Chains A and B, each alone.
Chain A
Amino acid sequence: MTITTEPQRATQPAKPPATRRRRSGVADRGANRLFRYLTTGSGVLILIALAAVAGFLLWQAWPAFTTGSDELATKVSFLQGEGSLLAYLGPLVFGTVLAAVLALAIATPLAIGIALFTSHYAPRRLAQVLGYVVDLLAAIPSVVYGLWGALVLAPLVQPIWGWVSDVLGWIPLFAGPAADPARVLLTVAVILAVMILPIITAVTREVFLQTPKLHEEAALALGATRWEMIRTAVLPFGRSGIVSAAMLGLGRALGETMAVVMILSPGLTYSFALLLAGKQQTIAANIALKYPEANELGMSTLMATGLALFVITMVVNMLSRWIVARRKDFSGAN
């Protein structure tokens, strides 16, 4: 999947000579026209599909928006005691974003480390193998990560979380006592970080490899150590690439369902306590947990939360595209 996000190739489209377009205008009939309609139609179909995703979610969620808070609360079992739809949605959005941001905070530095390791430190042969392994790991299904997280990782980290809450308990993030078993947000964040690590690594590595050799060698010639060369030549060049890779990872983490379902003890509060159980929940996991027993209005409520997730990921994606586009403008020389 590295190709899809590789900015360099995207900057060299097949140049459309003006003559060709005029030509195709002349000969645009019969099979030619049909084929053009077919391909254009497919493009339009994608736009329609995306609109349909948003449209259908909105349409299915509509009853939840229009039904009064009181009626909604009596008819939807999981809304009891939550008040309105917004009061229900708020903590979910909070939990979703918190988990994803945490995962990102753990994964990004590591990913940059591995990317630098494979691009500038490891011997060439090893680097190739590593790159290949990272690509393969990106394809491991999330349910397998969930299985591993719930049955292997959670028991393993519990004593560590206990120690963290004893030592750093004065920081609200790590307020104790750490939950036992460790079905808490920090465990989820670690799993999500492991899951998005390969994606971020793959993208940043591509960017680092594209650093102009001249910049690197110039830095070295000036007497820079290897680290100084990386800091002065590689990182500035790759900065926007790192940001967009991180955004890509953020998008993945936001929408991840199964690993969260299998690990987290959910709760609906605006709490930053990462080591306490039952404090946060993510939108995706909440949908997967609640839909089997949801009635019609309950399903509408879940659709509304799904719509919120859709909007959040859209915004994140647009932001990352925007950053990539800006980079293109600035680094035209490359």
Chain B
Amino acid sequence: MSTMLLQALADGVFTGAIIALGAIGVSFTLQIMRFANFAHSEFLTWGAYLTLALVTVFGIGEPLGILTFGWGLLIAAALAAVLTGLAAWGLDRLVFARLRRSGAQPLVLVFAAFGAALVMRHIVVLIWGHDSYFYSRELQMAMLVPPGIRIMPDQVFILALAFAVMIVLHLFLTYSRTGIAMRAMAESPGLAQACGVRVESVVRTTWVICGGLAALAGVFTGLTPQLHPEIGFNLLLALFAAAIFGGAGSLPGAVIGGLMVGIAENLFLLVVPPGYKPAMPFVLLLAVLLFRPDGLFGEKR
């Protein structure tokens, strides 16, 4: 029994790291752009499928060691992250920025985000259909780690890469001029402006970073183990649960939130029939909204 528990924990950490990557974007959009971006989940899907497209053309490269993929996938993922980041910014310019300029309430933005998400998701369906895809045809053997947990090498690599990305982001936000400006804007756009921070600039950087992170999360989801058009949508509630739990605008919060949601989901699976698995993030989300809407590290707006 305890092995099952440990396995659930391990699986939870792996999924949690991916959720954390996606949740960071939701968290910052919530705090800096001040609305719940329901299209964020589709940045994951687009990131995954853009990578698929690139990999279909250029190949995934020779598998690195016991991983199922090679440099081809990593480079494709990086490229896809940039492209998705730009697409996210493009979406803002086309839709959200326009609505903000005409004075729309945040709810209208949420609404427009729903609509945009629909369009984005079904563009993927239009091109690739509903079938599942795999990045790699390589089979992978699970490693057996004492006391009896099964771990895929791909999972370990993804976990390491995800944390590396988070650390880089943290350094960026703490030490770079743009990063500090982003955090300043997250707290008070008016005061940041009075310091000479250009709002449009920060907005652009925010979208590109959030979109890029989401794309990476999408690729990692697609790796473990497959892609289909709903991979982003299926994580939507988990992303929001993690972001709100950790507190909007907080990087450590989103990371902890993501891990918590991932672990909770997998523990939940031990006691509940698999058909109800998608309900877990929602239950957690509801609990957070009701009891601690400011989250762990969030600042009251």
Are A and B a genuine interacting pair, yes or no? no
Residues of A within 8 A of B (CB): none
Residues of B within 8 A of A (CB): none
